[in-house]
Amino acid sequence: MKKIITTLLFVFLTVTIQGQINYRLEGNIGRPEITDTLILKEERGEIVDGFIATGVLDTLYIVKGEILPIEGRLSEPMMARAKGKQILLLHIILDNGTTKIDGTIDGSIVRQSGTPLVDAMNQMEEEHQLLMNEFRRAFSSGEPIDTMGLIALEDSFVVSVISAHPSDPIGSLVANDYASDVSALSPRRGLELINMLAPSWVEKEPRLQMLRRDLQAKVSTGEGMKFIDIVTEYNGKQQRLSDYVGRGKYVLADFWASWCLPCRREIPNLIAIYNKYKDKGLVVLGIATWDDPIKTMKAIKEENIPYPSIINFKKTDTDVYGISGIPQIMLFSPDGTILARDLRGEVIEQKLAEIFAE
């Protein structure tokens, strides 16, 4: 029995070791004026209370631009970032072997070499740069711009990268970045791109899980969909979205926060819209989001907001609508159907002018 246990332990240790990678990180950031201490963190992290918490891998010391070499062990290749008082380095690939940094591409994204995965990353970035050059030529040519054609080109590039890297950090990076960008135009397309990755890999990537959840929420609360009610509480009183939406009037809802400068800049426009259309059947509704209620009330007073407000919406509330950034301004029909979202500035007036045309 002892011999069997010893043999099983040996097999377990062998499999464990084979499943690990030993990385080394060294090089130069190309800035001899920099001496800094950086915290090296994994990009992946984990979801804690609805937010991403990233684990610390090591401490990176830079002396006159030179990176003092570090070594470590991981269960699989990983993307990392390093942040200090003076600099932030992004998209560092830690793989089996030595990753050598040789300056930065734009001050934050590193130029690196040394492992097959790093080489693949470099090739991807070179091909993307060629694509961006083609975009620049199109915009500077003076000819009519084929916007849909350019979008199709970038989409094709993203698909090729994800197809080649369905279960490694490169695929995660490209899928996350592009799916986030394209979600404003088509949340469904963003979902399709994430679903091209290996399911087992997505389950290891909290950012992709959260993005997928947000995109699914956007799809279910997109134009033409019926509103989903939300209940929150402030000062001992429950507040519902259905207190205003679906009650026979058009509702322009502004998800905002006192600390959000773009939100504050949008408020005078919303006040003007409120004054113009309040007698024509429009309800303007402020929805204070991710904010301290005391600070919200202070901001309402400072901005002289005349329309009603719902206070104390939390992240779990806004997750229902896939809201990842504010201001988020949405227009609901009298029966509660979502007519538009992601409205800003003059677009709001144009939309309402169509609805309330005399």
Tokens of 205: 């990537």
pLDDT in tens, 283-331: 999 999 999 999 999 999 999 999 999 999 998 899 899 898 899 999 9
195 and 277 belong to one structural domain: no
Going from the C-alpha of 25 to that of each of 62, 89, 107, 152, the distances in angstroms are 12, 13, 18, 37
235 and 149 belong to one structural domain: no
Going from the C-alpha of 157 to that of each of 151, 183, 193, 251, the distances in angstroms are 10, 17, 12, 40
**Is residue 5 in some structural domain?**
no
Name the 3-class secondary structure at 22: strand
105 and 122 belong to one structural domain: no
Residues 6+ apart with CB under 8 A from 302: none
Q: Where are the alpha helices (DSSP H) in the chain?
A: 2-18, 116-140, 147-164, 169-182, 187-194, 199-202, 206-220, 261-277, 293-303, 315-318, 345-355
Domain boundary among 199, 220, 241: 220
Is the distance from CB of 96 to CB of 21 less than 8 angstroms?
yes
CATH code of 255's domain? 3.40.30.10
Tokens of 98: 């030595």
pTM to 2 decimal places: 0.75
**Is residue 6 in some structural domain?**
no
Domain range for 145: 118-220
Tokens of 22: 């030993």
**Is residue 292 in some structural domain?**
yes
Ranges of the chain with pLDDT below 70: 1-19, 49-50, 183-184, 358
**Is residue 226 in some structural domain?**
no
207 and 131 belong to one structural domain: yes
pLDDT in tens, 6-39: 443 333 333 334 458 999 999 999 999 999 999 9
250 and 337 belong to one structural domain: yes
Q: How many domains does the chain have?
A: 3
67 and 123 belong to one structural domain: no
**Is residue 164 in some structural domain?**
yes
Going from the C-alpha of 242 to that of each of 30, 205, 206, 249, 294, the distances in angstroms are 57, 35, 32, 12, 24
**Is residue 246 in some structural domain?**
yes
Beta-carbon-side half-sphere exposure of residue 288 (alpha carbons within 13 Å): 23
280 and 315 belong to one structural domain: yes
Domain boundary among 79, 94, 110: 110
Domain boundary among 110, 127, 162: 110
Element (H, E) at 242: none
189 and 206 belong to one structural domain: yes
Tokens of 248: 């026979």
215 and 253 belong to one structural domain: no
104 and 130 belong to one structural domain: no
pLDDT at res. 159: 93
**Is residue 3 in some structural domain?**
no
290 and 189 belong to one structural domain: no
DSSP, residue by residue, 156-189: HHHHHHHHH-TTSHHHHHHHHHHHHHHTTT-HHH
pLDDT at res. 44: 85
